[in-house]
């Protein structure tokens, strides 16, 4: 009877307590032992410090955490709105693996979360990790790249991509802490820190205050490698190097758009190899083309830190021959042009920047330098424009980018052959709502273009050719091409044809700031207006929530299996490198 009464009393208290407080890291967080992170409690109301009680596994938190959190009486929101009190403890380190039940209470406001702190084996499994990230890499990109690069007859592919021979390991869920849908920031940040976060956030939990740079931080893999050893770090991307995916290796911000600040964060960590676009954010404000609002000249700062600067393909080749081991390669003020534009069509901004290296050259140059470190390295290679071309539904460019990404995988595989202590991971950060449904055959009777779409047995096979054997179709504008369609779109004109004049711009803004079909494509023969199924604020197709596929080969790859959250990927990387301190 006493037990029953006690239970009733306990449940009454629980019912009365509002779970309004938020604790960061969030419930179910997994944390690498020894890895510093910021602890924060946000209470819903302004409370007195003496009313705040925080316990960890039933003990006062100060005993377990080894230090005292700062108390903020009233946090301020937008327009100075009072948000309630907070506790903040920066750079907390938990060295001992196990479950940590954290209970924070102030008056009626209470929150309980449980974190799992994990260790790693004592011995590293891999010396090097090459993490190849196809941004937006979906099933259709894989299939499309294979069909366009290798061809097919009688239903069997005429060749294999490098992708096709990396072991399939896991499906990865990519949702964010605030939404089922994701962006590159949240997913890549989860891969590179082990913590899921909100859409647009990098290396932080997204807190309630408006400042994007004060949010509770978690350690990135590059920082963990600096803390624990002497491995080199390389970042290669065809995007702006301060774009979300490459930024995730080093950055801490609630806003991926804080690109000028992100350059400073790259500089703070100083990855040995930094290759990509985005030079506009490295130039001080008075320099032409600068996107900075301050006087910081990061190109000079990197040079002063011993980096060789490369601004085109030739300079990259020359820099690879030097022995400084540190290269800053910035080949475009923004995102680099796609391979289809660089090598074939000479559209986009290729006339202005004619000598950009591709992902293959950048990956080779990075590996040549990084391999010199006897302690090994972590290299991230991003095929960024798979995503950047899938948004505007420019499928030919997206597929050709996937072929180039596949060739970069080939470079990594070749390196692995000679360096079997290298773990290779190949994955995407989210998918797109895209599928291949057959072919579009110009020789089918029209006049409407939709009558030329061949499905089932009427699809036949596409007639791309690769006569010079470079792995790329000699032309994407063939008479029987792949029929690739998105399942989500703004209003746009479907032309059923490759965009030979430059990347597709499906929608443009009208006076009401709504995105409407771009009239520039209205007169393409056979073009039809498609009414969008997305809000009118969407200028392009969006990311899909579907799982991504993760492939991996090499020491430690067995750690990836089944369904995984994107935050679980980090633990396998930490295991491969044995990043946790060992109990002695």
Question: In this complex, which beta carbon is closest to Zn ion, that of residue 196 or of residue 270?
Answer: 196
Q: Which of 328, 352, 171 is nearest to 263 (CA)?
A: 328
Contact, 486 vs 476, CB < 8 A? no
Q: Which is nearer to Zn ion, 320 or 540 (CB)?
A: 540
Distances (CA, A) of 122 to 309, 321, 521, 561, 571: 38, 36, 60, 22, 14
Which residues partner with 440 through β-bridges?
A: 453, 481
**Could you give the C-alpha distances from 108 to 2, 11, 12, 113, 466, in angstroms and in order?**
25, 14, 12, 17, 70
* CB nearer to Zn ion: pick between 387 and 396: 387
Smallest distance from Zn ion to CB 278, Å: 16
Helix, coil or strand: residue 576: helix
Query: What are the CA-CA distances from residue 92 to residues 25, 64, 95, 219, 252 (Å)?
Result: 11, 10, 10, 11, 16
Q: By beta-carbon distance, which residue lies closest to Zn ion?
A: 387
Token look-up 């604790």 returns 23
Q: Least distance (Å) from Zn ion to the CB of residue 543?
A: 6
* Alpha carbon distance 456, 361 (integer Å): 39
137 or 339: CB nearest Zn ion = 137
CB 486, min distance to Zn ion, A = 13
How is residue 583 written in tokens? 């109990």
Q: What share of the chain is helix, strand, coil (3-state, %, to 5)?
A: 30, 25, 45
Q: How far is the CB of 390 from Zn ion (least distance, A)?
A: 7
168-173 and 562-565 strand pairing = parallel
Residue burial 326-335, b: 16+ Cβ < 10 Å; e: rest: bbbbbbbbbb
- Three-state SS for 441-455 is ECCCCCCCHHHHEEC
Q: Is the Cβ of residue 387 or residue 547 nearer to Zn ion in the bound state?
A: 387
Least distance in Å: CB of 488 to Zn ion?
13
Residue of 566, 427, 435 whose CA lies nearest to 136: 427
Judged by CB, which is closer to Zn ion: 251, or 540?
540
Cβ closer to Zn ion: 75 or 387? 387
Q: How far is the CB of 67 from Zn ion (least distance, A)?
A: 40
> What's the closest the beta carbon of residue 142 comes to Zn ion, in angstroms?
17
Classify residue 318 as left (phi > 0), alpha (psi -120 to 50) or beta.
alpha
Nearer to Zn ion, 297 or 387 (CB): 387
* Contacts with Zn ion, residue ranges (CB under 5 A): 387
- CB-wise, 109 or 387, nearer to Zn ion? 387
Closest distance between Zn ion and the C-beta of residue 136, in Å? 5
In angstroms, what is the minimal distance from the CB of 92 to Zn ion?
A: 33
């Amino acid at each position: 009877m006493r037990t029953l009464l006690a239970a009733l009393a306990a449940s009454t208290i629980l019912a009365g307590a509002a779970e309004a407080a938020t604790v960061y890291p969030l419930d179910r967080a997994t944390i690498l032992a020894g890895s510093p992170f910021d602890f924060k409690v946000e209470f819903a109301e302004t409370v007195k410090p003496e009313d705040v009680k925080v316990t960890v596994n039933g003990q006062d938190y100060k005993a377990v955490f080894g230090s005292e959190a700062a108390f903020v009486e009233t946090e301020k929101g937008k327009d100075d709105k009072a948000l309630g009190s907070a506790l903040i403890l920066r750079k907390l380190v938990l060295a001992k693996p196990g479950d940590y039940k954290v209970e924070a209470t102030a008056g009626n406001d209470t929150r309980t979360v449980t974190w799992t702190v994990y260790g790693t084996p004592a011995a590293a499994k891999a010396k090097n990790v090459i993490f190849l990230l196809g941004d937006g890499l979906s099933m259709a990109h894989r299939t499309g790249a294979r069909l366009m690069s290798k061809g097919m007859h009688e239903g069997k592919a005429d060749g294999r991509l490098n992708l096709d021979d990396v072991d399939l390991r896991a499906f990865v869920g990519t949702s964010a802490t605030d939404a089922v849908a994701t962006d590159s920031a949240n997913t890549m940040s989860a891969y590179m820190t082990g913590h899921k976060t909100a859409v647009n956030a990098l290396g932080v939990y997204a807190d309630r205050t408006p400042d994007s740079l004060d949010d509770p931080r978690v350690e990135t893999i590059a920082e963990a490698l600096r803390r624990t050893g002497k491995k080199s770090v390389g970042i290669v991307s065809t995007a702006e190097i301060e774009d979300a995916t490459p930024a995730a290796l080093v950055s801490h911000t609630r806003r991926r758009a804080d690109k000028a600040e992100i350059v400073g964060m790259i500089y703070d960590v100083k990855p040995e190899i930094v290759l990509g676009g985005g030079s506009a954010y490295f130039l001080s404000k008075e320099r032409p083309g600068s996107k900075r609002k301050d006087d910081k000249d990061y190109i000079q700062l990197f040079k002063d830190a011993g980096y060789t600067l490369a601004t085109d393909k030739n300079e990259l080749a020359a820099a690879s021959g030097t022995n400084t081991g540190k290269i800053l390669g910035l080949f475009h003020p923004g995102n680099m042009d796609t391979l289809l534009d660089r090598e074939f069509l000479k559209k986009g901004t290729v006339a202005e920047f004619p000598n950009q290296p591709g992902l293959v050259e950048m990956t080779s140059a990075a590996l040549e330098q990084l391999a010199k470190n006897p302690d090994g390295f972590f290299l991230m290679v991003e095929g960024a424009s798979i995503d950047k071309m899938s948004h505007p539904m420019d499928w030919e460019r997206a597929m050709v980018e996937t072929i180039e990404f596949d060739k970069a995988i080939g470079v990594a595989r070749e390196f692995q052959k000679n360096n079997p202590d290298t773990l290779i991971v190949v994955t995407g950060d989210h998918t797109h709502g895209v599928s291949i449904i057959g072919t579009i055959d110009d020789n089918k009777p029209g006049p409407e273009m939709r009558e030329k779409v061949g499905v089932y047995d009427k699809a036949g096979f596409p007639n791309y050719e690769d006569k010079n054997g470079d792995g790329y179709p000699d032309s994407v504008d063939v008479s029987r091409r792949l029929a690739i369609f998105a399942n989500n779109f703004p209003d746009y004109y479907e032309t059923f044809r490759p965009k030979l004049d430059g990347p597709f711009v499906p929608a443009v803004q009208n006076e009401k700031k709504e995105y409407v079909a771009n009239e520039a494509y209205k007169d393409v023969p056979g073009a039809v207006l498609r009414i969008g199924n997305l809000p009118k604020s969407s200028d392009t197709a969006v990311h899909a929530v579907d799982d991504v596929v993760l492939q991996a080969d090499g020491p430690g790859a067995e750690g990836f299996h089944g369904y995984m959250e994107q935050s679980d990927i980090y633990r396998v990387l930490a295991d491969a490198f044995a990043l946790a301190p060992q109990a002695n």
